[in-house]
A and B are shown apart, each in its own frame.
Chain A
Amino acid sequence: MQIVSEVREPLVTGGKTHKDVTEDICKQIEGAPAPAWLASFAASLLALGIGGYYLGDLLWNGIGKWGLNKSVQWAWDITNFVWWVGIGHAGTLISAVLLLFRQKWRTSINRAAEAMTIFAVICALFWPIAHMGRPWIGPVWAFPLPNTYGSLWVNFNSPLLWDVFAIGTYFSVSLLFWFIGLVPDFATIRDRATSKVSRLMYGMLSLGWDGSAKSWMHYESVSLILAGLSTPLVLSVHTIVSFDFATSVIPGWHTTIFPPYFVSGAIFSGFAMVLTLMLITRKVYHLEDYITIEHIEMMNIIIIVTGSVVGIAYLTEFFIAWYSGVEFELYAFINRSTGPYWWAYLAMMTCNVVSPQLFWIKSIRTSLTWTFVLSIIVNIGMWFERFVIIVTSLHRDYLPSSWTYFVPTIHDVGTYLFTFGLFFTFFFLFAKFFPVINMAEVKAVLKESNSKMYRARRTLVNEPLPTIEESVIEKEVH
């Protein structure tokens, strides 16, 4: 059924049929867990356990256990929050923005990327809750509930409250989008299930999906509208996260380029994390035919673009700090690059600005090893970016007697480890029990994408296109 083009690689290689797609994806769910999966799952549970110990200690004794001090009142907590929420941007970007732009290559990677988004946002939400110190009374601080802990209502002038709504909405809508995408695939698994429990569980999850043409029509419309709603949403979320800093009066924070700069940084780190996870999943689940080198190359190109935007933002910030003539601002930036945290600034510049430029070389951006290594380097760099923005702007304030140097404690590291454990535990459970590739969407692009390439190839070599009778492919014109 597939026509292989000479112009470009098809979206799914290996001449897969619709039946093969079902088989390849479902066998991971139906079979016994692979030893590699068991080992990785155990490792994430271990991280969750060790991190959980430090988290428990923190909640019992208070956030004084973190390395915060009078000048640096926000450090790893908010760094990790922004880092995780940034990672949580790629999924919706891939599924919503690329859907609106009709980028068919998204079909093989959107499911896992959306799952990653949801888990990353859970990890992000954990940080503001933990840094409340007394999270059990958090709801009255965060939600518009009448309370007697200060003013009667929450403060709608505060970007921190906007953040509650932004992240809450982003999480809810991403979860809905992801679940709606899963429904037809759950129906496929339900109809293949051989055990009673899985037939019942997947049956309930599939909501009794029957794939009728009328339902597909509404379903497609719902997906498109959800994509249309999620696109401004995903841009608004990191914009609002950047408002947490940009609306303050701290030198180094109150810059107007923060919203676009944070959004591109989020896409940058999100795609890097998608690559890290997809390269592992692809290898373990033998999905080389679905996640092809071309998919990886496309994502690497997005990394070059967003990485360069981030690089330009760093330079613009520095230039404007000097050009504005505000000496506090200029000092904040000079201190950032040459002060006691010069090593963090250097790590940020090297990992985020220099390393993604290697992807200009075709052999590097199509190499799995290079991609894997660079994807991790990018995320290290993005962590340092947030650390640099937050800690270097705080540690030397207006009063030199209160200048300090922030050092993380074991509880900072432990709670960070806890979020890693949480993220990977969720991700491995997802990879075992849910279809990692959107079967329905991949089936839908199997033929279509290939016939377009077929036409392109025929036009390129000046071969006349076959008449309608001759070709099955050409029927598609209708």
Chain B
Amino acid sequence: MDKNKHFLVGIFNDQDDLLHGVEDIRKKGVKIHEVFTPFPVHGLEHALGYEKSWTPKAAFMFGFLGTCLAITMQVGMMAIDWPMVIGGKPYLSIPDFVPVSFEFTVLLASYGMTLTFLFVRGYLPHSVPRIFDIRSTDDKHVMAIDLANNSLSEEQIRSIVKDAHAEEVYRRDFTDEENEGSFLKYVVDLFTNGVTRSSRIAHHR
């Protein structure tokens, strides 16, 4: 995550306004840092020009690993390490190994993919998010534009975002401390200064 400090925040009320707004703003040459929404807005990833998610590939690779591990385990235990006649069946009875191989494939694919997603995106119990506007988990769509990343002036961007039907546009500056997002500091701050103070950090207006 980049450590830039100065952002312009645009608040959108409606998801359709947001989608059109994102298109208009990008057409006018403004680079959008990220959009935060309370629920998945379909088509937003296309409007922002993101590449397709890599998660299906991760799921396939972990699933394939699961199948291989399960087959190796069963063949190794039943046919190589300790062969035994059970109910007159051959040592290597492949049809009997199908259910466990299937279950293990599903298990590894699901956990592998999901945990990779969480790790890669930094969603862990001790993560402290950098929240632009606290209403983004309630009912508003929040667009963040990094001022250092754009050649246009703050005033120009402000008017472009306003023209794109943003309800509100305001400047949001982060301190170094907020950008670091240390869990320890967050907890200490929460318990010494209370919820109102730490929520003011989160919703700094």
Contacts and interface: CB of A to CB of B under 8 A. Distances in A.
A153 B107 CA distance: 21
A195 B87 CA distance: 62
A447 interface: yes
A191 B35 contact: no
Given A165-B104, A444-B40, A156 B97 contact: yes
B20 A475 contact: yes
Contacts of B202: 191
A439 B38 CA distance: 9
Contacts of A151: 82, 84
Interface stretch (B2-10, B132-140, B167-175): B132-140
B15 interface: yes
Given A232-B106, A236-B99, A176 B114 contact: yes
Interface string B112-137: 01100110011111111111001011
A217 to B, nearest CB: 4
A209 B107 contact: no
Interface in A140-183: 144, 151-159, 161-162, 165-166, 168-169, 172-173, 176-177, 180, 183
Interface stretch (A6-14, A199-207, A329-337, A400-408): A199-207
A44 to B, nearest CB: 29
A272 to B, nearest CB: 27
Contacts of B148: none
B107 A173 contact: yes
A184 B137 contact: yes
Interface in B175-201: 181, 186-187, 190-191, 194-195, 198-199
Nearest to A239: B99
Contacts of B181: 208
Contacts of B190: 196, 199-200
A267 to B, nearest CB: 19
Interface stretch (A59-67, A76-84, A220-228, A308-316): A220-228
Interface in B80-105: 81-82, 84, 86-87, 89, 93, 96-97, 99-100, 102-104
A111 to B, nearest CB: 14
Nearest to A442: B39
B117 A218 contact: yes
A18 B55 CA distance: 29
B43 A165 contact: no
A460 to B, nearest CB: 24
Nearest to A198: B195
A394 B165 CA distance: 72
A216 B44 contact: yes
Given A19-B139, A229-B106, A161 B100 contact: yes
Contacts of B126: 204, 208
B137 A478 contact: no
B116 to A, nearest CB: 9
A332 to B, nearest CB: 22
B136 to A, nearest CB: 5
A217 B100 contact: no
B73 interface: yes
A69 B28 CA distance: 81
Contacts of A165: 99-100, 103-104
Contact of B129 (A158, A208, A478): A208
Given A153-B81, A213-B48, A218-B55, A169 B41 contact: no
B77 interface: yes
Contacts of B103: 162, 165-166, 168-169, 233, 236
Nearest to A438: B39
B53 interface: yes
A305 B48 CA distance: 44
Given A153-B78, A207-B127, A211-B137, A200 B187 contact: yes
A219 B123 CA distance: 11
A220 B50 CA distance: 14
A229 B110 contact: yes
B107 A478 contact: no
Contacts of B127: 207-208
A289 to B, nearest CB: 17
Given A19-B138, A208-B123, A211-B36, A156 B53 contact: no
B147 interface: no
Nearest to A161: B100
Given A173-B106, A180-B114, A476-B16, A196 B36 contact: no
A177 B106 CA distance: 13
Nearest to A219: B40
A191 B131 contact: yes
B163 interface: no
B109 interface: yes
Contact of A240 (B54, B99, B128): B99
B59 interface: yes
A472 interface: yes
A192 B138 contact: yes
A162 B202 CA distance: 49
A350 interface: no
Contacts of A188: 38, 137-138
Contact of B50 (A184, A214, A222): A214
Given A144-B77, A216-B40, A218-B117, A210 B129 contact: yes
Contacts of B187: 200
Contacts of B125: 204-205, 207
* Residue from A155, A184, A217, A240 with most neighbouring chain B CB atoms (10 Å): A217
Nearest to B123: A207
5 contacts: A155-B78, A180-B114, A193-B195, A200-B190, A204-B125
The 6 A-B pairs with the shortest beta carbon distances in the complex, nearest first, are A208-B127, A18-B139, A207-B123, A221-B53, A162-B99, A153-B77
Interface of A: 1, 17-19, 22, 144, 151-159, 161-162, 165-166, 168-169, 172-173, 176-177, 180, 183-184, 187-188, 190-196, 199-200, 203-205, 207-222, 225-226, 229-230, 232-233, 236, 240, 243, 439-441, 443-444, 447, 472, 475-476, 478
